[in-house]
Amino acid sequence: MAERTLHKTPGSLEHYLSDYESARQRFDWSESRRALTGSSDPHLNLAHEAVDRQVERGRADQIAARFLDREWRRVDVTYGDLQRHSNQFANVLRSLGIARGATIATLLGRVPELFSAALGAVKAGNVFCSLFSAFGPDPLKTRLQLGHVQLLVTTENLYRRKVAPIRSDLPELRSVLIVSEGTERKLPEGTSDFACLMDGASDAYQTTLTRDTDVALLHFTSGTTGKPKGVTLTHAAVIAQHATSQLVLDLHPGEVYWCTADPGWVTGIAYGLIGPLTCGVQLIVDREEFDPQRWYQILEEERVNVWYTAPTAIRMLMKAGTALTRERHYPQLRHMASVGEPLNGEAVLWGVEAFGMPFHDTWWQTETGAIMIANFAACDVLPGSMGRAVPGVEAQVVRRTAQGTLEVVESPEQVGEIALRPGWPSMFSSYLEDPERYRQSFLDGWYLAGDLARRDNEGYFWFVGRADDVIKSAGHLISPFEVESTLMTHPAVAQVAVIGVPDPIAGQAVKAFVELRSGFEGNDALRRQIMGHARRLLGAVVAPREIVFSDSLPRTRSGKIMRRLLRARELGLPEGDLSTLEGRE
Amino acid sequence: MEPKEIQTKLLALLTGVAPDIDPASIEPSKNLRDQFDFDSMDALHFATAVSEAFAIDIAEADYPRLASLEGAQRFVEERLAAR
């Protein structure tokens, strides 16, 4: 691959990481903590660092975030505004009798109120959880229950469509606050007006004293089986989110930065809110969905310096063509990075063609709380590679031995599982209500990421695949089990298996194989009916894009459907060991 | 092709991509994303389906014109008339 290496030449800008080796050697997490807080105070609050610390440093009047709506109206929020609004929200929580430590959730689009609620909840010592607004009622119910959410901030529209139908199943949900979109008829029963409560609350609040090990954030991610995983991150996560915002995203104070991830996912919080604010940048937040012309207009008119986006979006832009890119100019743009799923080498190189610079792939997970492996702004890029371990992070390719231990794969180019040595500050502190699963994520002193990769002799990692059945579609991690469970609620469905199939744009697409109950005929009308059922309950991003009927799904002797075999057939791969397969075929 | 026929075909394509949409509930002038749970992958699949069904090329830059049912109707009519 060496001939494809994209070499970097030193520019005029001082990068936070210019020499990889020496940065690794010098790096020390306790030093990062001191640099972030400016003190050795044993207390640490993630939201306080993102907002109040910035105000202390003279950024009260600087724009923290600019929100854009469909009509290109701009709403600017300064660091001072963020401080006042988050204080008001913290006071609202206290006035409603919400105790410290309780979980507060939002189900919102990309609006300023989400920022106030997130930062206010964390400052008040509560746990904040942002739920993806495109989820349907089924995934929402599971997550609100598992998270023991006591207060939810949402809109009237989302509440009526997605929460009201499941409210009776949520006895712990004490309060629902409605953010106005200006179109409401009247407040739904059992809810209160967000703005009204905020107006009545003081904008002064002394941040609750929290410690590094206290839980600050709850993010849900998908596993292969069972319920979604409730991943908790502590206040210490801000140390790693800050350090990587500098080392990887190279964010300098006052720069304009656009992270296109939705706050319903961990990237949208870690790098769409917390990390960048601790660097004193101006965030761009677009309330609209993906649209190539709109995105180019934002990059140009908002004078974006650093852009963090996702492979699916990049591939859609590629499809739209470079001619469209060149209709505008981006002299301020200086660094582009990508996250969410592996970025193919062609997409990296397309960045050079279209913008004169490559996209820098980064790798991390909800569980890692911050970027762990990356291509750096000042370092050479190997297109198609995930990059190298971030300073302060020890990453290896490992294999499980027959004795149940781990061995590090020392020789390059050998495939194994990505393992990380615990010790970085943003490592997850638990899976909610599942200590066993948490325990199983570690072996022999390593955290096992569940992603397969190989490493070349220069230390660059190359993604190979998932070690499990989890589907990655358009940057969303989707549990086949969750999709199967909802499909099973349709009266025509007897059995179902869900897998990810390759998709040129989304990376993977969700495909369902359905066995029908007797008396049902597998025709197009029924296929649409089942797909509609799944979309209503799961939401469009999670529901299958394709449903096929099958007479007999491959099962093991114990009756478990073999997704691996379905996937192998779908991709024309060798089917492997079939000794446990029931002979139905 | 008659406008009515185009509309029927568009509705079939739309509900093929997003079968949760009740055709009777569509407000033709309103953005589909504002009315339904219709994401960018849906929009892409809809555009591809329209392109195939009517045998017309649709540039990515024209995708926003398919954002509403009425917009899609006008777009297809124009393209068919230009042939």
Place of tokens 């996209």: A359
- Gap from A67 CA to chain B (nearest CA, Å): 18
pLDDT, tens digit (0-9, with 9 covering 90-100), for A240-299: 999 999 999 999 999 999 999 999 999 999 999 999 999 999 999 999 988 999 999 999
Q: Give the pLDDT of residue A93.
A: 98
Q: Give the pLDDT of residue A2.
A: 40
Nearest alpha-carbon partner for A135 in A377, A558, A575, A478:
A478
Angle (CA) A232-A233-A234 rounded to 5° is: 125
pLDDT band at A362 (very low <50, low <70, confident <90, very high): very high
Q: Give the pLDDT of residue B61.
A: 81
In angstroms, the Cα distances linking A126 to A100, A212, A536, B83 are 5, 14, 32, 62
Looking at the predicted structure, is the pLDDT value of residue A33 above 70? yes
Q: Give the pLDDT of residue A215.
A: 98
**Residue of A288, A290, A524 to mutate for B, most B C-beta atoms under 10 A:** A290
CATH number of B3-81: 1.10.1200.10
Q: Give the pLDDT of residue A579.
A: 46
The residues, ordered by sequence, that sit 6+ positions from A585 with a Cβ below 8 Å of its Cβ are A552, A554
- Gap from B37 CA to chain A (nearest CA, Å): 6
Tell me the average pLDDT across A103-120: 98
- Gap from A324 CA to chain B (nearest CA, Å): 8
Instruction: Say how far apart CA A471 and CA A539 lie, in whole Å.
Output: 16
Q: Give the pLDDT of residue A220.
A: 95
Tell me the average pLDDT across A405-424: 93
Q: Which residues of A touch B24 (CB under 8 A)?
A: none
- If residue A406 lies in a helix (H) or strand (E), which one and from where to where? strand A406-408
Q: Which residue has the higher pLDDT, A568 or A25?
A: A25
Instruction: Say how far apart CA B72 and CA A230 lie, in whole Å.
Output: 41
Looking at the predicted structure, is the pLDDT value of residue A3 above 70? no
Angle (CA) A212-A215-A216 rounded to 5° is: 95
Tell me the average pLDDT across B39-51: 91
Show the tokens assigned to B14: 């739309």
Q: Give the pLDDT of residue A584.
A: 35
**Number of cross-chain residue pairs from A and B with Cβ atoms under 8 Å apart:** 58
- Interface contact A529, partner B, CB < 8 A: yes
- Gap from A482 CA to chain B (nearest CA, Å): 19
Nearest alpha-carbon partner for A388 in A366, A428, A418:
A418
- Gap from B10 CA to chain A (nearest CA, Å): 16
Share of chain A above pLDDT 90, in %: 77
Place of tokens 């002193």: A445
Q: Which of A291, A292, A528 comes nearest B16 by C-beta? A: A528
Q: Give the pLDDT of residue A552.
A: 78
Q: Give the pLDDT of residue A557.
A: 65
pLDDT, tens digit (0-9, with 9 covering 90-100), for A447-501: 999 999 999 999 999 998 878 888 988 888 888 888 988 998 999 998 889 999 9
Tell me the average pLDDT across B61-69: 90
Q: Which of A292, A293, A540 comes nearest B42 by C-beta? A: A540
Contact A277, A51 (CB under 8 A): yes
In b/e form, how buried is each residue of A383-406, taking b as 16+ CB within 10 angstroms?
Answer: bbbbbbbbbbbebbbbeeeeeeeb
DSSP code of residue A93: H
pLDDT, tens digit (0-9, with 9 covering 90-100), for A522-577: 999 999 999 999 999 999 989 999 999 988 788 766 666 778 788 888 877 666 54
Residue A284 in 3-state DSSP? Answer: strand
Contact A447, A419 (CB under 8 A): yes
The angle, 0 to 180 degrees and rounded to 10, between the axes of the packed helices A137-146 and A524-538 is 30
Question: How many CB atoms within 10 Å of residue A579?
Answer: 7
Pairwise CB contact (< 8 Å): B19 & A531: yes
Q: Which residues of B touch A134 (CB under 8 A)?
A: 37, 39
pLDDT band at A344 (very low <50, low <70, confident <90, very high): confident
Looking at the predicted structure, is the pLDDT value of residue A371 above 90? yes
Using CA coordinates, name the residue in chain A closest to B59.
A320
Looking at the predicted structure, is the pLDDT value of residue A502 above 80? yes
Nearest alpha-carbon partner for B69 in B57, B77, B61:
B77
Instruction: Say how far apart CA A301 and CA A534 lie, in whole Å.
Output: 39
Q: Which of A320, A506, A532 comes nearest B60 by C-beta? A: A320
Looking at the predicted structure, is the pLDDT value of residue A74 above 60? yes
Q: Report how far apart the first and last C-alpha atoms of chain A are (Å, whole number).
A: 43
pLDDT band at A580 (very low <50, low <70, confident <90, very high): very low
Pairwise CB contact (< 8 Å): B37 & A529: no
- Interface contact A536, partner B, CB < 8 A: yes
pLDDT, tens digit (0-9, with 9 covering 90-100), for A168-178: 999 999 999 99
The boundaries of every CATH 3.40.50.12780 domain in chain A are 29-453
pLDDT band at A582 (very low <50, low <70, confident <90, very high): very low
Place of tokens 């839980």: A215
Q: Give the pLDDT of residue A167.
A: 97
Instruction: Say how far apart CA A378 and CA A146 lie, in whole Å.
Output: 42
Q: Which of B18, B44, B45 comes nearest A535 by C-beta? A: B18
Q: Which of B15, B43, B60 comes nearest A321 by C-beta? A: B60
| Architecture of the domain spanning A29-453 | 3-Layer(aba) Sandwich (3.40)
Phi/psi of residue A390, each to 5°? -70, 145
Tell me the average pLDDT across A35-50: 94
Q: Per DSSP, which regions of A61-117 are E strands?
A: 63-68, 74-78, 103-107
DSSP code of residue A167: G
Considering chain A, what is the average pLDDT of its residues? Answer: 92
Identity of the highest mean pLDDT range in A8-17, A181-190, A314-323: A314-323
pLDDT band at A581 (very low <50, low <70, confident <90, very high): very low
Domain range list for chain B: 3-81
Instruction: Say how far apart CA A516 and CA A532 lie, in whole Å.
Output: 16
Looking at the predicted structure, is the pLDDT value of residue A437 above 60? yes
| Architecture of the domain spanning A471-571 | 2-Layer Sandwich (3.30)
Strands A103-107 and A476-478: unpaired
Q: Give the pLDDT of residue A394.
A: 97
- Interface contact A395, partner B, CB < 8 A: no
Looking at the predicted structure, is the pLDDT value of residue A11 above 70? yes
